[in-house]
Amino acid sequence: MFKNRLIETLVSNKRHINSSFFLFFINLLNFVFPLLISPRIIQKCGLEGFGIVILFQSIAIFVSSITEYGFNINATRDVTLNQDHPDFINKHFFTVTYCKTILLGIAILLSILIYFFFPKANDYSFIYFTSLFILIGRTFNPLWVLRSLHKLKYIFYFFIFFKIISLLVIYLFLESGANLYLVNLTIGSMDLLTCIFSILVLMNRMKWKYYKPDFKAIKKEIVTGFGIFVQVISINANAYLNPMILGLFVNEYALGIYCVVEKVILVVRFCGSFIIQSLFPKACEMAGKNHQDYKVFARKLFVFLVISMLIAAMLLVVFSNLIVSYFVKMNIAECSAFLVYNSLIPFVVAFNMVPYLTFMVYSKQKAVTKIIILSVFINVILNTILSKQFGIFGISAGIYITELFVSISLWAVLIFKFPNLNFLKNEK
């Protein structure tokens, strides 16, 4: 009976399993790739060079929040719910692409503004501007529509090929700090080529026709997604602005130590984020069919993520010396102590992942917008004060406080404002 039930479950979820397989390996390579190139960058350019590379990567990714807007949630949900309407999907793809192109212009203007007001961008001008290729590469990423249509194979092979090219270029041609610009330039360029080829194949296979949306359609998409955009840019501000804040108060060496540990913590955090991303279309379908089934699903997912992140924290503590020794050969004790100090951050974040997913699935994003915006102010103010006084340990303390605030606040909204969505509460 169990075997038959398992087979039925696998067959009924074949498309989701297939998509999750491709998405898993895409995210896995995204996790592994920085781990492969980081030791090479540190070896050739030192911790100082590594800190600069990650700093400008963080700025580019943060600015790309403008082009991401809210399409990874709104557009993904719209396509998922309209899979039987190919004409809608065709037009929606081009509408979103036009929106992204317009938003890219705004993002580039913001990048130029940051350049004029951020000292380290002025000190490393060429590296800074070549890092903006990461922004361009992320703008036209078609994952949002591929996830909805379960067509991730259309990007998978291009993704692997161009990541290998990136790895070879960095290992073969990065010689010293003099050509440090190669790192972010290569990453951004290869991402852009991946997106271009994937979109061309997708359009050909789906037999889409070119569609030019009118101003009204673009305006509607922008207005509809504004609430999600505020949340996306706020979440990314908390995740990617910290190296920029720290860069105002510490030297490149301390920044490098922070970036090494942050890279490890982000890998662990993104493991949880990957699970949420891969299950988002399935969660939307489930919530649309049966609310109680979604609550059972969300409850199991929440327990799994919390336990997984606690185990991950323990492993980071136990193997801290071994982990940091992969990146650096000197000052291992200093980096190890800082990693242990940060080890519980993913565990704290795990408490807010499923509540946030629930709000997105049920289109209750307005309920959490104020929380996310307020968390940005808390993060920026606290980390500015604490990093100025206590350096890298100060900014980590600010991250803990910010993530605790987000988790407690999201649960408060879920329990008291939307008790019917509280997946930990059993139906009577």
**Which amino acid, residue 116?**
F
Asked whether the beta carbons of 64 and 135 are under 8 A apart, the reply is yes
DSSP string, 190-245: HHHHHHHHHHHHHHHHHT-------HHHHHHHHHHTHHHHHHHHHHHHHHHSHHHH
Q: Which of 63, 86, 202, 207 is nearest to 137 (CA)?
A: 63
- pLDDT given for residue 4 in this prediction: 52
Q: From the CA atom positions of the chain, what is the Rg in Å?
A: 21
Q: Is 212 helix (H, G, I), strand (E, B) or coil?
A: coil
Asked whether the beta carbons of 348 and 407 are under 8 A apart, the reply is yes
pLDDT, tens only, 134-188? 999 899 888 888 877 777 877 888 999 999 999 999 999 998 888 999 999 999 9
pLDDT, tens only, 285-343? 788 778 888 888 889 999 999 999 999 999 999 999 999 888 888 778 888 999 999 99
> Quick one: pLDDT band at residue 202, thresholds 50, 70, 90?
confident
> Quick one: pLDDT band at residue 5, thresholds 50, 70, 90?
low
Q: Please state the pTM of the whole predicted model.
A: 0.78
Q: Is it the case that residue 15 has pLDDT exceeding 70?
A: no
Q: Is it the case that residue 346 has pLDDT exceeding 80?
A: yes
Query: Average pLDDT of 16-44?
Result: 80
- pLDDT given for residue 77 in this prediction: 76
What gap in Å lies between CA 215 and CA 220, rounded to an integer? 8
pLDDT, tens only, 70-84? 787 777 778 877 777
Q: Kindly list the domain boundaries of the chain, sorted by start residue.
A: 15-224, 228-428
Asked whether the beta carbons of 204 and 154 are under 8 A apart, the reply is no
Asked whether the beta carbons of 243 and 258 are under 8 A apart, the reply is yes
Query: Average pLDDT of 251-274?
Result: 86
Mean pLDDT of the chain: 86
Query: Average pLDDT of 185-206?
Result: 91
Q: Is it the case that residue 191 has pLDDT exceeding 70?
A: yes
Q: Is it the case that residue 282 has pLDDT exceeding 80?
A: no
- pLDDT given for residue 384 in this prediction: 92
Query: Average pLDDT of 13-38?
Result: 75
- pLDDT given for residue 24 in this prediction: 74
Q: Is 117 helix (H, G, I), strand (E, B) or coil?
A: helix
- pLDDT given for residue 10 in this prediction: 42
What gap in Å lies between CA 379 and CA 395, rounded to an integer? 9
Query: Average pLDDT of 189-196?
Result: 93
Tokens 């949340």 locate to 231
